[in-house]
C-alpha cells in the first residue's frame, strides 16, 4: 500500500479492502451515487458524503505526490539535490511544507539578494553567517568586496548587500517558516479596523475588532474579507514580534562575533520585510480557504435539504408572484405540473384593485378546483398574503396558502431553459409557474436553477466559485439519485443529474420519449443514442418507470440484481406478475419475516444488497421525501405587530448558517434563532439541531419593530 493509500486509511479510519476497492471503483469511472448505492459490499457501506470527501482527498494527495516528483526533478536539474533534502521532500505532508522546502531553489524575480549576488557579495554573506571572526574590524573584512565597477561603492554597501542575501536565506529556511507559522497561528490576533469610521455600514461590528487567529470562526473571516474588499475595513495579523525575533536569534546567532549586531538587524529586517508579510498572507489564505470550505459545506447541506423537501402531490396549485406597480403574476398548474392558466392582478399599491383581483382569482379557483396557493416571499409578499388570507375567507371550499421561497425564480424566468419550456409565456409570468411548481415538487423545479441562486447560502459569492460549483453539483446529484427519477416525466434539467447521464444523453432520452412514446422497461434505455452499456450500468437503477410490466423497474433495485430480487420473491411465494397484484400488507408481513443475513448466505450475495432489495420490495416506487416535514399550510396572516415576547409559534427553517438559523414564522422577515438559543445544551454547529425545511416550535424572545427583526428561541 502506497503513502497515499496509507494516509487515506488513517484519515478516514478505513480498512485495507475499503481503500483498495474504493480507489479502484473511482479510477474505473464509476460515479459517487452509483458506488454509494450499488457497491456497498466493496466499500463497506460508505455514504455518498464520505465518498465525496474521500475523492477530494484522494485528488489532493495524488497532486501532492506529483508535485513532489516535480520538485525533486527541478532541484536535481540544478545539481543541488541531497539525500537529506530528498527525504524531507518525500516526507512532506502538506503542499505548504513542500513549497517551503522548494522555496530556496525556486526561480525568483530580481530581488535585493539576487542583485547583491550579481555584485559578488555572496562570499561575504557566508563569512558573516559563519560568525568565526571574534575580533578585528568589520570594514577591513568588507573592504575586500568593494568594487565600484560592480556597484559596491564602499564597505557599508558591501555589508548591506551581504545582509540582503542572508535576509532572503533566513526567509527561505523551511524550518524557520514552519516554526514562525506555528507561533503566528497559535498566538497571533486577527485584527480589523475601520477605514471610514464615521460611515455607517453592515461591518460596524468589525470597526475595532480583535480575535485569536486560531479561534476566529469562518463566517467572521468571510465577513471581514468582504468588508476589506468593499473598502470599509483593513485587516491584519498582529503578534508578539519579540518572541519571533528571539526564536530566530537563538537559531542563527551562535555566539559573539564582529558581525553580531549586523546579524541582529538582518534578522529583524528579514522578519519584518520578508517573512512576516509572507506568513501573514499564507495564514490568511489558509483561513479563507478553510472558511470557504465551511461555507460551501453549509451551503451544500442546505441545498440538499431544500431539494429533499416533501413534494405536495395530487394538488392543483396556484402560483402567486407578488409585486407592486407591475401587478401580481398568477399561474395555475394541475396535479402533474401542467400549466392551466395565467393572469395578472393588481391588489397591491398603487392600483389597490382588491375587489377586481378577488373576483378574478375566485373564478380561477372555482374553475380549476385549486387546492393550494403558493405565495412567493419577495417584494409585496406580506401585502399579498393578507389579500389571499382575506379572499380565502370568502370562498365556500377549503383552500390553504403557504409562503414559498422565490429565490432564483427570476433567474429561471429569463433563462434559456424557461424560454424552451414556455416560449409563448411572458417572462414575468414564468416566475409564478416556478413558484407553484416548487411547492408541488421542489427538487424537479429547483434543479433548473443555478444552486447559488436558491437562497440558502452564506457568503456564497465570496468563496472559491470553482469549488462551490463542483460541490453543489455533487450535492444535487446525490439528492436526485437518492430520490430517483421518473423516466417518463423527467425534464432534461433533472435527468442530467442522474448518475451516468450527461447533458447530451438527457436530451436524447427526452427525444426518444417524444419519438417512441413512454419507456416501457429499463432495457429500452439501451436504444437511446449515446447511452451504451457503461452509462446503463451507472444510471438504470436510479430511473423509475411507474406502471412498468416488470414491477422492479419502478424500484431502486438495479437490473444487475433482478435475478436476486426474483429469488427473494420466490421464497416469499410470488413471481413478478403475482407480486405486482398482491395485497401490500400480506407482502409486507412475509418480507418482514425474512432474515437478510440468512438470505444473503443462501443466495451468495452481500447482506447490504439483500437489505436494500427487501426495503424496495416492501414499498415499491416509494418516494423517500415522503418522510420529510410537509410545508406549513396557513389560512390567516400574522404581522410583526401581533408578536409578543413569550409567544410560541410554529415555523419553517429557511436557512442554516454558522451562527444560527432563520425561521419563517409567517411575518415579513424570517426570525433568527441564534446558536446560543437553539438548545438547553451547548451547540457547536447549528446543523446538529436543525436542517432547511424542518418544522420547529419557537418562542419569541425579542421584537425590534423599528428594524423589523425578531429574535427567537428553541430552548425549552
In terms of Cβ atoms closer than 10 Å to its own Cβ (0-12, 13-18, 19+), residue 551 is buried
- Grid coordinates 469562518 are at which residue? 218
**Is the C-alpha dihedral spanning 130, 135, 141, 142 positive or negative?**
positive
Query: Is 90 exceeded by the pLDDT of residue 621?
Result: no
Residue 328 phi, psi (nearest 5): -85, 125
Distances (CA, A) of 431 to 66, 324, 335, 342, 384: 49, 15, 18, 11, 15
Read off the pLDDT of residues 311-367 as tens digits, 9 standing for 90 and up.
Answer: 988 899 999 999 999 999 999 999 988 999 999 999 999 999 999 999 999 999 999
- Of the candidate ranges 30-39, 79-88, 414-423, 559-568, the one whose mean pLDDT is the lowest: 414-423
Q: What cell does 484 get?
A: 430517483
According to DSSP, residue 271 is labeled: I
> Per residue, what are the HEC states of 101-126?
HHHHHCCCCCCHHHHHHHCCCHHHHH
SS3 content of the chain, % helix, strand, coil (to 5): 55, 10, 35
| Residue 699, pLDDT score | 94
Q: How far apart are CA 100 and CA 118, in angstroms?
A: 24
Read off the pLDDT of residues 140-180 as tens digits, 9 standing for 90 and up.
Answer: 999 999 999 999 999 999 999 999 999 999 999 999 999 99
Q: How far apart are CA 16 and CA 9, in angstroms?
A: 7
| Residue 403, pLDDT score | 86
How far does Cα 607 stand from its chain's mean position? 33
Q: Please report the beta strands in 349-441, taking only residues with DSSP state E, as ranges in sequence order.
A: 372-376, 400-404
Read off the pLDDT of residues 646-677 as tens digits, 9 standing for 90 and up.
Answer: 988 888 898 998 889 999 887 778 899 999 99
Distances (CA, A) of 674 to 35, 667, 692, 709, 710: 38, 18, 15, 13, 11
| Residue 306, pLDDT score | 87
| Residue 636, pLDDT score | 65
Pair 306, 456: CB distance under 8 Å = yes
Where in the sequence of the chain do the CATH 1.10.3500.10 domains occur? Answer: 112-298
Q: Could you tell me which of 432, 443, 448 has the C-alpha nearest to residue 317? A: 432
Q: How far apart are CA 296 and CA 15, in angstroms?
A: 29
Give the percent of the chain with pLDDT over 70: 99
Where in the sequence of the chain do the CATH 3.30.420.140 domains occur? Answer: 317-440
In terms of Cβ atoms closer than 10 Å to its own Cβ (0-12, 13-18, 19+), residue 94 is exposed
Q: Could you tell me which of 482, 488, 493, 489 has the C-alpha nearest to residue 556? A: 482
Q: How far apart are CA 456 and CA 409, in angstroms?
A: 14
Where in the sequence of the chain do the CATH 2.40.50.140 domains occur? Answer: 640-713
Read off the pLDDT of residues 35-61 as tens digits, 9 standing for 90 and up.
Answer: 999 999 999 999 999 999 999 999 999
**What angle do helix axes 276-307 and 218-229 make, rounded to 10 degrees?**
110
Averaged pLDDT, 59-67: 96
Q: What cell does 27 get?
A: 479510477
Read off the pLDDT of residues 3-31 as tens digits, 9 standing for 90 and up.
Answer: 899 999 999 999 999 999 999 999 999 99
Read off the pLDDT of residues 597-614 as tens digits, 9 standing for 90 and up.
Answer: 999 999 999 999 999 999
Pair 284, 228: CB distance under 8 Å = no
| Residue 47, pLDDT score | 96
**Residue 239: pLDDT band by 50, 70, 90 thresholds?**
very high
| Residue 341, pLDDT score | 97
Q: How far apart are CA 540 and CA 517, in angstroms?
A: 18
Query: Is 80 exceeded by the pLDDT of residue 451?
Result: yes
What single string gives the DSSP state of each residue in 520-576?
--GGGGGGSTT--HHHHHHHGGGEE-TT-SSGGGGSS--GGGHHHHHHHHHHHT--H
Q: What cell does 215 get?
A: 479561534
| Residue 526, pLDDT score | 97
According to DSSP, residue 542 is labeled: G
Q: Could you tell me which of 316, 371, 384 has the C-alpha nearest to residue 344? A: 384
Query: Is 70 exceeded by the pLDDT of residue 616?
Result: yes
Strand order in the sheet with 233-238: 208-212, 189-194, 233-238
**Residue 637: pLDDT band by 50, 70, 90 thresholds?**
low
How far does Cα 172 stand from its chain's mean position? 36
- Grid coordinates 418562542 are at which residue? 699
What single string gives the DSSP state of each residue in 328-341?
EEEEEE-TTS-EEE
**What superfamily would CATH give domain 317-440?**
YqgF/RNase H-like domain (3.30.420.140)
Q: Could you tell me which of 44, 542, 622, 55 has the C-alpha nearest to residue 313? A: 622
Query: Is 80 exceeded by the pLDDT of residue 1?
Result: no
Q: Could you tell me which of 367, 368, 363, 320 has the C-alpha nearest to residue 344? A: 320
Q: How far apart are the first and last CA of the chain?
A: 52
Q: How far apart are CA 321 and CA 305, in angstroms?
A: 24
Q: How far apart are CA 386 and CA 405, in angstroms?
A: 17
Note the residue count of the chain: 716
61 CB neighbour count, 10 Å cutoff: 19
Whether residue 350 is preceded by a cis peptide bond, meaning omega within 30 degrees of 0, is: yes
Strand, helix or coil at 362? Answer: helix
Please report, to the nearest 10 degrees, the dihedral formed by the alpha carbons of residues 576, 580, 586, 591 taken in order. 50
Averaged pLDDT, 63-76: 96
| Residue 314, pLDDT score | 87
Read off the pLDDT of residues 102-126 as tens digits, 9 standing for 90 and up.
Answer: 999 998 889 999 999 999 999 999 9
Classify domain 112-298 by CATH number.
Answer: 1.10.3500.10
**What superfamily would CATH give domain 640-713?**
Nucleic acid-binding proteins (2.40.50.140)
Pair 677, 711: CB distance under 8 Å = yes
How far does Cα 207 stand from its chain's mean position? 29
Which CATH entry fits the domain spanning 503-627: 3.40.50.970, 3.90.1150.10, 1.10.3720.10, 1.10.150.310?
Answer: 1.10.150.310
Q: How far apart are CA 605 and CA 563, in angstroms?
A: 11
Question: Domain 3-105 belongs to what architecture?
Answer: Orthogonal Bundle (1.10)
Query: Is 80 exceeded by the pLDDT of residue 508?
Result: yes
Q: How far apart are CA 622 and CA 550, in angstroms?
A: 16
Averaged pLDDT, 374-392: 89
Query: Is 70 exceeded by the pLDDT of residue 635?
Result: no
Q: How far apart are CA 491 and CA 497, in angstroms?
A: 11
Q: Report the mean per-residue pLDDT for the chain.
A: 93
Read off the pLDDT of residues 286-317 as tens digits, 9 standing for 90 and up.
Answer: 999 999 999 999 889 889 988 998 898 889 99
Q: How far apart are CA 460 and CA 226, in angstroms?
A: 11
What single string gives the DSSP state of each residue in 466-489?
HHHHHHHHHHHHHHHHHH-EETTT
**Residue 454: pLDDT band by 50, 70, 90 thresholds?**
confident
Amino acid at each position: 500500500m502506497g503513502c497515499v493509500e496509507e494516509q487515506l486509511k488513517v484519515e478516514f479510519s478505513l480498512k485495507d479492502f475499503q481503500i483498495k476497492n474504493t480507489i479502484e471503483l473511482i479510477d474505473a469511472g464509476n460515479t459517487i451515487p452509483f458506488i454509494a448505492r450499488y457497491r456497498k459490499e466493496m466499500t463497506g457501506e460508505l455514504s455518498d458524503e464520505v465518498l465525496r470527501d474521500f475523492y477530494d482527498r484522494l485528488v489532493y494527495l495524488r497532486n501532492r505526490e506529483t508535485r513532489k516528483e516535480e520538485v525533486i526533478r527541478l532541484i536535481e536539474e540544478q545539481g543541488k539535490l541531497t539525500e537529506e533534502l530528498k527525504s524531507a521532500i518525500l516526507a512532506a505532508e502538506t503542499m505548504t511544507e513542500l513549497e517551503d522546502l522548494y522555496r530556496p531553489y525556486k526561480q525568483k524575480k530580481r530581488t535585493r539578494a539576487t542583485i547583491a549576488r550579481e555584485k559578488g557579495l555572496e562570499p561575504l554573506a557566508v563569512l558573516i553567517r559563519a560568525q568565526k571572526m571574534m575580533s578585528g574590524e568589520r570594514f577591513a573584512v568588507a573592504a575586500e568586496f568593494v568594487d565600484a565597477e560592480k556597484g559596491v561603492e564602499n564597505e557599508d554597501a558591501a555589508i548591506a548587500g551581504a545582509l540582503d542575501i542572508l535576509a532572503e536565506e533566513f526567509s527561505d529556511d523551511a524550518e524557520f517558516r514552519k516554526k514562525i507559522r506555528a507561533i503566528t497561528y497559535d498566538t497571533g490576533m486577527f485584527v480589523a479596523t475601520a477605514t471610514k469610521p464615521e460611515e455607517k455600514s453592515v461591518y460596524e461590528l468589525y470597526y475595532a475588532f480583535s480575535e485569536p487567529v486560531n479561534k476566529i470562526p469562518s463566517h467572521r473571516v468571510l465577513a471581514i474579507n468582504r468588508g476589506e474588499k468593499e473598502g470599509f475595513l483593513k485587516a491584519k495579523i498582529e503578534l508578539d514580534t519579540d518572541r519571533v525575533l528571539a526564536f530566530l536569534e537563538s537559531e542563527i546567532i551562535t555566539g559573539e562575533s564582529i558581525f553580531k549586531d549586523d546579524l541582529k538587524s538582518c534578522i529583524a529586517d528579514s522578519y519584518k520585510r520578508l517573512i512576516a508579510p509572507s506568513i501573514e498572507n499564507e495564514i490568511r489564505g489558509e483561513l479563507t480557504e478553510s472558511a470557504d470550505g465551511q461555507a460551501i459545506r453549509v451551503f451544500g447541506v442546505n441545498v440538499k435539504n431544500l431539494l429533499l423537501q416533501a413534494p405536495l402531490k395530487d394538488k392543483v396549485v396556484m402560483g402567486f408572484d407578488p409585486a407592486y406597480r407591475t401587478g401580481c403574476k398568477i399561474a395555475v398548474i394541475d396535479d402533474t405540473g401542467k400549466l392551466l392558466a395565467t393572469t395578472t392582478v393588481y391588489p397591491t399599491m398603487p392600483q389597490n384593485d382588491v375587489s377586481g383581483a378577488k373576483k378574478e382569482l375566485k373564478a380561477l379557483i372555482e374553475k380549476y378546483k385549486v387546492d393550494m396557493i403558493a405565495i412567493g416571499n419577495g417584494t409585496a409578499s406580506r401585502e399579498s398574503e393578507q389579500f389571499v388570507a382575506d379572499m380565502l375567507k370568502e370562498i365556500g371550499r377549503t383552500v390553504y396558502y403557504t409562503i414559498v421561497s422565490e429565490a432564483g425564480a427570476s433567474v429561471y424566468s429569463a433563462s434559456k431553459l424557461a424560454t424552451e419550456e414556455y416560449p409563448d409565456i411572458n417572462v414575468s409570468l414564468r416566475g409564478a409557474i416556478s413558484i407553484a411548481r416548487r411547492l408541488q415538487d421542489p427538487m424537479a423545479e429547483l434543479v433548473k436553477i443555478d444552486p447559488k441562486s436558491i437562497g440558502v447560502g452564506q457568503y456564497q459569492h465570496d468563496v472559491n466559485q470553482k469549488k462551490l460549483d463542483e460541490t453543489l453539483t455533487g450535492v444535487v446529484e446525490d439528492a436526485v439519485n437518492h430520490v430517483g427519477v421518473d423516466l417518463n416525466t423527467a425534464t432534461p434539467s433533472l435527468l442530467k443529474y442522474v448518475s451516468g447521464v450527461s447533458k447530451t444523453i438527457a436530451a436524447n432520452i427526452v427525444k426518444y420519449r417524444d419519438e417512441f412514446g413512454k419507456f416501457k422497461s429499463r432495457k429500452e434505455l439501451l436504444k437511446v443514442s449515446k447511452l451504451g452499456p457503461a452509462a446503463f450500468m451507472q444510471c438504470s437503477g436510479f430511473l423509475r418507470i411507474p406502471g412498468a410490466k416488470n414491477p422492479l423497474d419502478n424500484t431502486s433495485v438495479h437490473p444487475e440484481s433482478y435475478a436476486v430480487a426474483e429469488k427473494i420473491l420466490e421464497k416469499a411465494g410470488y413471481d413478478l406478475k403475482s407480486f405486482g397484484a398482491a395485497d401490500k400488507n400480506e407482502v409486507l408481513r412475509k418480507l418482514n419475516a425474512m432474515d437478510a443475513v440468512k438470505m444473503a448466505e443462501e443466495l451468495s450475495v452481500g447482506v447490504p444488497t439483500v437489505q436494500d432489495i427487501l426495503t424496495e420490495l416492501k414499498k415499491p416506487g416509494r418516494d423517500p421525501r415522503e418522510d420529510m416535514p410537509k410545508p406549513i399550510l396557513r389560512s390567516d396572516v400574522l404581522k410583526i405587530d401581533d408578536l409578543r415576547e413569550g409567544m410560541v409559534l410554529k415555523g419553517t427553517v429557511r436557512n442554516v448558517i454558522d451562527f444560527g438559523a432563520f425561521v419563517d414564522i409567517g411575518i415579513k422577515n424570517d426570525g433568527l434563532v441564534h446558536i446560543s438559543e437553539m438548545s438547553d445544551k451547548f451547540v457547536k454547529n447549528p446543523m446538529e439541531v436543525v436542517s432547511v425545511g424542518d418544522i420547529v416550535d419557537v418562542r419569541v424572545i425579542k421584537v425590534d419593530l423599528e428594524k423589523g427583526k425578531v429574535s427567537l428561541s428553541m430552548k425549552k
